[in-house]
Structure formats: C-alpha cells, structure tokens
Structure 1
Amino acid sequence: MKTQIVKLFTMSLILLIIISGCGKKEEYTPVAINEDTDKCEVCNMAIKDDQFATQIILENGKAIVFDDLGCMYKWMKENEEKKIAKSYVKDYQSKEWLEADMAFFVYDKPTKTPMAYNVIAFSTEEDAQKFITENDGKLLTSDELDNHSWERNEEMMKEMKEMMKSGMDHSKDSH
C-alpha cells in the first residue's frame, strides 16, 4: 500500500511538472538588424542598426523590422488583426533595444529620423527630459503614441530627397 502511494505521488509530481512546463510563457527577444538585407516593412527602405530601428515580434515568433518608429505605428494601425507579442525600440543614446511599452518618447520636429516622423525613444524619463531641456520637444508615453498624429515632417522629407538626389548627381559626375 505504501509503495502505491509513493508511486501515485511520484506520477502526480511528474504530471504536474509536465503541465507547468507546457504553460510556460514564451520569451520574445529582439532580432539583430542585418543592414545588408533588412528592409522596412512599410517604406521598403534599408534599415540601419541605429537608434531609429524598431521591431515587432508576432505571437508566432516572426520578427517585423522598421527603419522609423512612425513606420512601425503605421504598420500596427494597418494590421490591427495581427497578434503582437512584443514591440521594441532602440534607446536614442545607447542604441540598445528596449521594450516599447517601457520606453519614454520625445516628439521633436527638428530631430531627423529616417522617415521624418521625428519621434525618438529613451530608456528613462530623465534622459527624455534632458533631451527636451537641451533641444525642445514633447514628452510622450507609449500609451500616448497610440493617439499621436504620426504626420511626417514634409519639409524634412523634401530636404532629404534633395540631399539624396544631389548625392546621386555627384556620383554620376565621378564616373
């Protein structure tokens, strides 16, 4: 009788371990940016592994990368049915990945970002406030980004296009 109780207890313990292992939450970590091959899902521009890169990890594990925070939010608005497990942004200063919902953001129209949405991320509110003190801008939380207008700075886009065109014209002269 005693051995049956021990066997039953052992089997119950094993079953409990198996069941608790099945319920383990999957960890979603950011993928490394490959500057040679990664393209933004929205604008199809090459992605630099810099302070502007962002990404979403879907519940199925697929990573979707973006060159600008505005592109990520545009994608999320257009793909509301997709199940997002985590979203990541890079700290403007350290260029380290941060969970987007833990970051602090600054909208500063003169700050250049790849697609001129002009929103940058910081790991601490103190760092964001310091940037605002030195440069201007408006502090935003991740919740406030949902209601942000996400308008592109058209003047900046025009300047960037002219710079690119000018660079292409100069490269033609050198041939």
Structure 2
Amino acid sequence: METSLPIQGLACPNVEFDTGISNNEKKCGCTMKTRITGKVIDSLTKQPFEEPVNIKNLNTSFGVTTRVDGSFVIEASPNDILRFSFVEYQVLDIKASELPSVIVLKPDDMLNEVVITVGTKKEAKKYNYLGFALIGGLLIYAVAKDKKKKSKKEANAST
C-alpha cells in the first residue's frame, strides 16, 4: 500500500509514514517543512506593532521578524513550536499545526518591577576573593603586630 505525505496545510495525519527518518527525528509522520504565513497584531490597538515582532522556531532556532504590516513568513514542520515575542508583551508559544492566521499578543502585566543588576557572577566572585584576601591580609598584619609588641615587651622586661 502506497501512502503520500500531505502537500498542503500543516495538519498531521493519523497515520505513521515510513519516511526513512529515525524515530528520534520522527514527530508524527509528516516531517516536511512548510512555508507558514500569518499576521501579528497588538491586543490593545488591534493593529500591527510599529516595531518588528520576533518569531523563532524553537525546534530549529531559526527566526524571522514581522514586516511593517505585521505579516510574516517562516518555514516549520507541523510539530515545531513557534515563539512570538515583543518587549513588554507576553511571550506566546504555538505549535505550527495549530497556528491561527492572526496572532494577538497581549501586554505583560508582570513587568511592573524592574530589577537592575551590575556586574556578572564572575565579577562577584572576584570581589569575594578580594574581600577574603583583604581580611586575610589584615589578620596576618594584626598577628604580626601583636607578636612584635610581645617581643618588645619581653626585650624590655629582660633589660
């Protein structure tokens, strides 16, 4: 019995196809990459964003951005996950086979706080080591000074 892969659309058939691809690569039987088009709009204005929205295929790490009119074109297999992201908006992950023609991004209400950090973990470690070295140096200095005082007292006592 001969079967053919679906040509149009991204819906996966309920049948497993023998495509010669290993089980690790097989996701549902249809592994063809398809050109996907769509549009991304703002939930508040119902209009495309003024700046490009990032769209990344999480399975391949390939990414694109939207055009001025909010439209995009990206290649994906039916089981690939597409991530839509824009600053101060909720990140949206959608399976390519379930992608609507219009994607609506909502503002992220969780961005009311801003945390500012300075430096990196490596720099923090350097400062920790520097602090320990400084404390160690002071401790050695204090012990040496104390020994010097004791030796002066012993010298004065013996004379």
| TM-score bucket of the superposed structures, by smaller chain | under 0.3
The TM-score normalised by the length of structure 2 is 0.27
Structure with more contact order per residue of length (Cα contacts < 8 Å, sep ≥ 6): 2
* Larger fraction in strand: 2
The TM-score normalised by the length of structure 1 is 0.25
* Larger fraction in helix: 1
